[in-house]
């Protein structure tokens, strides 16, 4: 990684806490419908509907809320109390208003890399929500460029590199998701560092045989040491 010129960071669960809020909401939602089905079955149906809706709604809280509403309609066969829908919407609003909790070492590593590298934010999700979190985080000043992506496939990273006028061999991606932040980047000939988070969305999990050899660090602050 001696020729790195651009370092991109994922946001959710790499720079700040995100997935635990979804998990807590899923738990509250499943309890909301426990009169109709066991909580585990509610979660299974919700996840299935989320996966089906990703192509339509993309990633983020708003699509998650719509999937909760659709799950209510399916489980109650369209006969459930509208208060259930109202509650699901309130769950979403609570999530959107959550404070931004930075992970340990984030501010320090971004500051240390600035000047020696072009530091970029490359995250996927809802535009308004990610912009809101970025402003609340106080990290905006550290980034040369901010890219909020609809997905993170190899072609999406190639478009980003073209926009940045950066060759693949000069690009490093840092993130918590092997599926979104690591494997697609390695596929286009760039570098990636995995910073695992203790909670991973099922959609972002990969089979062990899909994993390749790449650097893994316990804390994001270790990224600077890898580059020395």
Sheet with 145-149: strands ordered across: 145-149, 118-124, 6-9, 171-175, 191-194
For the chain, what are the domain ranges?
6-17+100-226, 19-96
pLDDT tens per residue across span 42-93? 999 999 999 999 888 888 899 999 999 999 999 999 888 899 999 999 999 9
State the CATH architecture for 6-17+100-226. Answer: 3-Layer(aba) Sandwich (3.40)
Whole-number average pLDDT of the chain: 91
pLDDT in the model for residue 158: 97
pLDDT tens per residue across span 170-208? 999 999 999 899 999 999 999 999 999 876 544 445 565
* CATH superfamily for domain 19-96: Putative phosphatase; domain 2 (1.10.150.240)
CB 165 within 8 A of CB 142: no
Rg of the chain taking only CA atoms, in angstroms: 19
pLDDT in the model for residue 212: 61
CB 10 within 8 A of CB 177: yes
**Which secondary structure element, helix H or strand E, spans residue 65, and what is its range?**
helix 61-75
pLDDT in the model for residue 206: 58
Question: Which of the pair, 179 or 211, is modelled with greater confidence?
Answer: 179
Phi and psi torsions of 101, nearest 5°: -105, 105
pTM, full prediction: 0.88
């Amino acid at each position: 990684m001696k020729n790195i010129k651009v370092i991109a960071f994922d946001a959710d669960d790499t720079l700040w806490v995100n997935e635990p809020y979804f998990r807590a909401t899923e738990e509250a939602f499943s309890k909301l419908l426990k009169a109709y089905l066991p909580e585990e079955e509610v979660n299974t149906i919700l996840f299935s509907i989320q996966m089906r809706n990703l192509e339509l709604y993309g990633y983020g809280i708003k699509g998650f809320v719509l999937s909760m509403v659709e799950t209510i309609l399916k489980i109650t066969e369209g006969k459930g109390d509208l208060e259930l829908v109202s509650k699901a919407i309130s769950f979403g609003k609570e999530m959107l208003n959550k404070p931004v909790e930075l992970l340990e070492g984030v501010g320090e590593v971004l500051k240390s890399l600035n000047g020696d590298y072009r530091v970029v934010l490359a995250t996927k999700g809802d535009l308004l929500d990610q912009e809101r979190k970025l402003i609340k985080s106080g990290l905006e000043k550290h980034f040369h460029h901010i890219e909020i992506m609809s997905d993170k496939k190899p072609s999406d990273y190639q478009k980003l590199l073209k926009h940045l006028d950066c060759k693949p061999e000069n690009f490093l991606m840092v993130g918590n998701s092997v599926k979104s932040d690591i494997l697609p980047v390695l596929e286009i000939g760039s570098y990636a560092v995995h910073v695992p988070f203790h909670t991973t969305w099922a959609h972002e999990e990969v089979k062990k045989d899909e994993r390749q050899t790449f650097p893994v660090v316990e804390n994001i602050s270790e990224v600077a040491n890898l580059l020395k």
